[in-house]
Amino acid sequence: MTVPGPLTNPAQARRVHRFWPLISGVIAVLLAAVIGLIIALRDNGAPTEIDTDWMDEIIEHRSPVWTLPSLFMDYLGGGIVGVIVVPIAIIVALLLFRRRWAALYFLIASVLSAGLVQLLKTTFGRARPTEILVTADFGSFPSGHTANAATIAVCMAIVFPRVWVWAAGAAYVVLMLLSRTYLGAHWLTDTLAGMLIGAGVAVIVWAPFAVRLYDERSRPHPFVLVRGTLGP
């Protein structure tokens, strides 16, 4: 009788499949926290050289052509719209597509990501750049807008594993990162840490949901069934 190897048992194979992404997510979140700690310990959160060089470059290229889209990204990724309206719209859309586990997964990831961002903001208390063009609360590190964008991008890419979803999500995160530094709302390292947190939390929360999300995705889509039944 052959004893099943470590990858021949389906349950064990699924655990191995989730292990390294989970470790990667934990490392990403810890790395963001370490960056914040290093920044806090050096001159009470003073900007690094890469922060000041990036900000100087941004200020030099400010113009109405870039300001308007940056303000739109600020509106889309923060406040009531970014924290409540957009997530609820995504959850409703997932429920309409009968992705109940995906909706729950996205909800938990979004709440945990936002909560961790606020915890780190309070912990490190880094001052925002003086060249800021928008009104924002205290706490520059990490960027909540960028963390929120990364959480949405990674969650949607996991739920809908398509190249175009990954590409659109990556573009959204990069645009949010650029807009936050362009508006002077964050230093570059704030946005990089926000990206790590958003992506890391999305992957960490994905691990316990992985099997259910896969099963849910593998079921025939209800709209396809209706079309196949009624159409030619």
**Cβ-proximal residues to 1 (8 Å cutoff; 6+ apart), any chain:** none
The pTM assigned to this predicted structure is 0.85
Three-point CA angle 121, 127, 128, nearest 5°: 100
Residue range 50-100, pLDDT digits in tens: 999 999 998 888 888 899 999 999 999 888 898 899 999 999 999 998 899
Is the pLDDT at 8 greater than 60, yes or no? no
d(CA 46, CA 21): 33
3-state secondary structure the chain: CCCCCCCCCHHHHHHHHHHHHHHHHHHHHHHHHHHHHHHHHCHHHCCCHHHHHHHHHHHHCCCHHHHHHHHHHHHHHCHHHHHHHHHHHHHHHHHHCCCHHHHHHHHHHHHHHHHHHHHHHHHHCCCCCCCCCCCCCCCCCCCHHHHHHHHHHHHHHHHCCCHHHHHHHHHHHHHHHHHHHHCCCCCHHHHHHHHHHHHHHHHHHHHHHHHHHHHHHHCCCHHHHHHHHHCC
Domain residue ranges of the chain, discontinuous segments joined by +: 56-216
- Find where tokens 């990162």 sit: 177
Q: How confident is the model at residue 47 (pLDDT cuts 50, 70, 90)?
A: confident
Mean pLDDT along residues 158-178: 94
Specify the pLDDT at position 230. 40
Q: Is the peptide bond before 142 cis (omega within 30 degrees of 0)?
A: yes
Residue range 103-132, pLDDT digits in tens: 999 999 999 999 999 999 999 988 899 888
Mean pLDDT along residues 174-191: 94
